[in-house]
Structure 1
């Protein structure tokens, strides 16, 4: 029977105020109480295992090292029991009698002192001990109005003790009689739940909490005698012992993705921060990590216990496709474990994870190009955001992939290094052009002089692509240059490779050249301030006209993006260049010679201008253009019938 002469004590450290903070303000999620109790139980088991490794005699040596959780719905109680180290009377007073006193903290400090004095072999590793602040236990008062702790130390022949408190400022401690209901060894914590916390008297609810926060604790967790934590902490195992099937099974458990991951990145680091990272590259892009919503990041564990899910500070945004976790041994937490103190260790972990991921992708790109192409297809749109990571630019640049004029269709991909390897002699720039599709780019007049010279051009289909290349600026001493910013004379050193592709037309006479100058002036008169100039083009081979930005300005595609962001709808002023050898321009020249004020001339010029705007994505009024085209078709069909009739 129990000794009824219980000792009454008051908590130290202004406990009333502190308990109020802990139970009502410190934790934002009440279910954390179970994580804290399981973590404390795991600590106690770790400490016992350490003592056993030192050869210490322990009570009930045949008891399995485990954590048991039971519920009594009628009594309204939850009990968490462990077969660990247990506590003496003095330890109860120290660990549960004052807030901020952590047995685990003392244990680690003593262990470090002992290690410095003696390098004894066979000592157990105590780095898996979780508790650091001694306040996690008091989270139980968020859900319980009374808590009873019954404990017996591991040393044979010791008394069992009970600790009881309602969290209101006092607690009692009493020694129990030998026949009292007490553990043979270890600690049992019984929570008498409040009425508003009876939701936790549900097995499925408790199982979900355990699997979320404590699934990878090193010891068996039994919920009503059924093991709950059935999935091992795979990242703690040596890599060479883990099979692909085990990785796939763990990935499915963590992500619920039924498809195996594309690749696995698993590594451990000892300095400057000790941690292990296990992350996966999914085969497909998931809508679950929309960057705009901030739903990305690796799960952060401290000694197998989940601290923060999707912790964004562990990876940069452009690696947001990663699924996985980081488990660290020496990360300081704040008093509630729910958030992390701002410290340099987090930044060091994030930096290492980023560099390791980029190195892994580099190896994949070099040794498994087909797999890397699959990665790029799925995650390239996210990965491209790394253009702003200046610290890792040297690793980021070689991983970029683009379609180009070198390929037969859109499925082809090339790296900047591969492009440079195919460059012509004396070529000092990597050329690129943006468009909504390969077909749209093929119709872009700015590509014509590159085709005629046999110069490769990268095709950029996504708005971010130009930001990437403009930010990089250069790559391996080669300038990254928008094709439309290149002047025709810049390519004079390269001979034409396809003369047949050019528009064939007779040489203009001196009189016609003079008339052409007058025609250009008339076109400028028709278009007015919509263009800065009208001139003969040296860049066109097959198209009749093109709009050219002023020297030093950004590309048309980038202009459109920037003007859209600024809500500017009017197209920017550009120069209009005409191909003097194109049949249409020659016909306009003939019309002008007969009548400079001919209405058809104005109609054709408007159509040429708006067609050029359409190719650049600036046409704001397609209705006028459609009406004009229909009118031209009506007239031209009549002319065609007259010609056919003759």
Structure 2
């Protein structure tokens, strides 16, 4: 490794983000210290865990702590830990690169943020808290030596787009961040970060629950200025709402307060404590492949890992918090966690508690529930596919748009309570937009009879409706698949009148459809295209093809409205032995109109346009 000093530049996009963040984002400067203390605590956690895994690690773990030192004369503030430390390569990769993923997304979101509070809410999600230091410092120096290594590294930057990295000798184990504080803050008591009372106040506000001692020089010996009390281990009655909020903001790196706080404690054959939070706002990466998920795992208050996926299913990936298990081994691995029976039981109980909490929220605080569902409903519905055990409970907390009220979604329980006399099924229609679904000809007969239909427009809706068959003994039924048997449907006499036309159309359109039949679901439109009961929807078919999955051609069924003048006219023309070419073109146009009416795609738009233009021209009155 080259030990010489290097001067490097931040990546161009990262540099733009760097400047934007420094000058525009933080309105509460105090939070820089929270970010540095949080990083230091992570370094101590990692060293403690590494020492447990490797008994021969040559590192001192006898007095792990965080030190905050102020020097009013030289106007410096130092945050020091004796944790895991970093190598030169680590420094360049982790400190020299801002927001390794999501940089462009953050820049976009910052540009769209209407106020400083909205901007602040984005910081913790992108992992750039270290750079908040430049809100209060003209220069930042980082000195670090990895535990078990003799070679240290010095990193320094003035926030001007470059940084230097060089080898440093005789450094203690761990990391020190030295801030050369801005001179303009010296005369402002609110931002005098060389004031011991000010620093203690910030630590108490933001870092009181850090499990490691945070020490400040004072008198004969250093004073520990945080309580180090694990919030989840204290009796619920002894914890205030503000303490919960502060703990959530610290652990979740979120500027908002949590939407809901959930506590669990289990005793008996295995013991654990859990403190979970439902966020108020979905993270930007909720649906990104690279996202992290899961809660923090502790064993006997010893930090084990962030984002313990084994404790939380994918569809609840937004849940934040801590689980502290008493009986797991301290050197447990992610692979072992996936198979551990105790972890599986904890996970099962956590999931049931979260779902029951949301269920209670639906009735006790509808506004809070609405916020939850708007932010996380799409993710929760993934559980209808992945979590068969809790499928009924998940259905119970779902809300869906419906034709009953265009402004407010409905629960399935409320839908069932409103079902018309004689209605046997829960009707739904999937589509790409609410407007497209509401204008679909498939709804005509249902609207005429006053039957409520669920309007399902999320991509996940296309999949779960085929996996979930029943709610409250009522079957889910698509209004765009299978036959609909309404009382006012075609009778035997109409079937006889149209039989010849239907047979001819089935043959004429055989390239596109597998059957042409009379419809019970149309009242205004001339025709619609429907699927057989077991067919997948066209939208789902497109989704599969977009992922590169090969799909066989699925022919659907063309249904005709026998009461529509266009259809009855076509019947009469066919019975009167009209021109074969005109009949065939009219049949093709009728099928194309049905496709367009449901938002489908024409196989040959140019031919459809040509045919339509020719037919319109024939029916225009000739100029005199």
Structures share fold, TM-score greater than 0.5: yes
- Show the counterpart of 1:111: none
Instruction: Please state if 1:242 is matched with 2:239.
Output: yes
User: Structure 1's 290 and 460: CA in aligned 2 closer, same or farther, altered over 3 A?
Assistant: closer
- Show the counterpart of 1:416: 412
User: Structure 1's 628 and 570: CA in aligned 2 closer, same or farther, altered over 3 A?
Assistant: farther
Tell me the CA shift for residue 327 of structure 1: 1.9
Find the residue that maps to 1:359 and give its secondary structure: helix
1:247-266 per-position Cα deviation (integer Å, ceiling 9, x unaligned): 22222222332222222112
Instruction: Please state if 1:264 is matched with 2:238.
Output: no
- Show the counterpart of 1:434: 430
- Show the counterpart of 1:478: 474
User: Structure 1's 477 and 197: CA in aligned 2 closer, same or farther, altered over 3 A?
Assistant: farther
Q: Paired residue for 1:452, among 448, 455, 462?
A: 448
> Any gaps of 5 or more consecutive residues in structure 1?
1-28, 46-65, 72-77, 82-138, 146-192, 497-501
Find the residue that maps to 1:484 and give its secondary structure: coil
Instruction: Please state if 1:531 is matched with 2:524.
Output: no
Find the residue that maps to 1:288 and give its secondary structure: coil
1:595-641 per-position Cα deviation (integer Å, ceiling 9, x unaligned): 522544333321221222332634343333334444444444x33x7
1:215-261 per-position Cα deviation (integer Å, ceiling 9, x unaligned): 85656332764757577532233222333222222222223322222
TM-score, normalised by the number of residues in structure 1: 0.61
Q: Is the 8 A contact 1:298 1:309 kept in 2?
A: yes
Tell me the CA shift for residue 319 of structure 1: 0.7
Q: Is the 8 A contact 2:381 2:460 kept in 1?
A: yes
User: 1:119-518 to 2 correspondence within 5 Å?
Assistant: 142-144=148-150, 200=174, 202-203=176-177, 216=209, 220-222=213-215, 225=222, 233-290=230-287, 292-334=289-331, 342-387=339-384, 388-407=386-405, 409=406, 411-489=407-485, 491-492=486-487, 516-518=498-500
The farther-off stretch of 351-360 and 276-285 is: 276-285
Q: Is the 8 A contact 2:517 2:558 kept in 1?
A: yes
- Show the counterpart of 2:31: none
1:67-112 per-position Cα deviation (integer Å, ceiling 9, x unaligned): 57699xxxxxx9979xxxxxxxxxxxxxxxxxxxxxxxxxxxxxxx
Tell me the CA shift for residue 380 of structure 1: 0.4
Tell me the CA shift for residue 330 of structure 1: 2.5
Find the residue that maps to 2:594 and give its secondary structure: helix
Aligned partners of 2:401, 2:308: CA distance in 1, in Å?
A: 34
Tell me the CA shift for residue 331 of structure 1: 1.8
Q: Is the 8 A contact 1:334 1:341 kept in 2?
A: no
User: Structure 1's 620 and 215: CA in aligned 2 closer, same or farther, altered over 3 A?
Assistant: farther
Q: Over alpha carbons, which structure has the higher Rg?
A: 1
Instruction: Please state if 1:33 is matched with 2:32.
Output: no
1:450-488 per-position Cα deviation (integer Å, ceiling 9, x unaligned): 222221111111232243233221122211222233533
Tell me the CA shift for residue 534 of structure 1: 2.4
Q: Paired residue for 1:622, among 584, 605, 621?
A: 605
User: Structure 1's 464 and 588: CA in aligned 2 closer, same or farther, altered over 3 A?
Assistant: same
User: 1:69-148 to 2 correspondence within 5 Å?
Assistant: 142-144=148-150
Q: Is the 8 A contact 1:30 1:142 kept in 2?
A: no
> Any gaps of 5 or more consecutive residues in structure 2?
1-42, 70-79, 84-144, 152-166, 180-202
- Show the counterpart of 1:604: 586
Q: Paired residue for 2:566, among 584, 587, 594?
A: 584
Q: Is the 8 A contact 2:297 2:308 kept in 1?
A: yes
Matched residue count: 464
The farther-off stretch of 514-523 and 347-356 is: 514-523
Q: Is the 8 A contact 1:291 1:320 kept in 2?
A: no
User: Structure 1's 143 and 524: CA in aligned 2 closer, same or farther, altered over 3 A?
Assistant: same
The farther-off stretch of 521-530 and 241-250 is: 521-530
Q: Is the 8 A contact 2:44 2:81 kept in 1?
A: no
Q: Please, what is the CA RMSD of the aligned residues?
A: 4.5
Tell me the CA shift for residue 546 of structure 1: 1.8
Aligned partners of 2:571, 2:332: CA distance in 1, in Å?
A: 83
- Show the counterpart of 2:523: 541
User: Structure 1's 344 and 270: CA in aligned 2 closer, same or farther, altered over 3 A?
Assistant: same
Q: Is the 8 A contact 1:33 1:140 kept in 2?
A: no
Tell me the CA shift for residue 574 of structure 1: 2.4
TM-score, normalised by the number of residues in structure 2: 0.63
User: Structure 1's 269 and 515: CA in aligned 2 closer, same or farther, altered over 3 A?
Assistant: closer
Aligned partners of 2:555, 2:292: CA distance in 1, in Å?
A: 41
Q: Is the 8 A contact 2:209 2:247 kept in 1?
A: no
- Show the counterpart of 1:14: none
Find the residue that maps to 2:261 and give its secondary structure: strand
Tell me the CA shift for residue 444 of structure 1: 2.3
Tell me the CA shift for residue 312 of structure 1: 0.6
Tell me the CA shift for residue 551 of structure 1: 4.8
Aligned partners of 2:259, 2:346: CA distance in 1, in Å?
A: 24
User: Structure 1's 230 and 620: CA in aligned 2 closer, same or farther, altered over 3 A?
Assistant: farther
Q: Is the 8 A contact 1:534 1:577 kept in 2?
A: yes
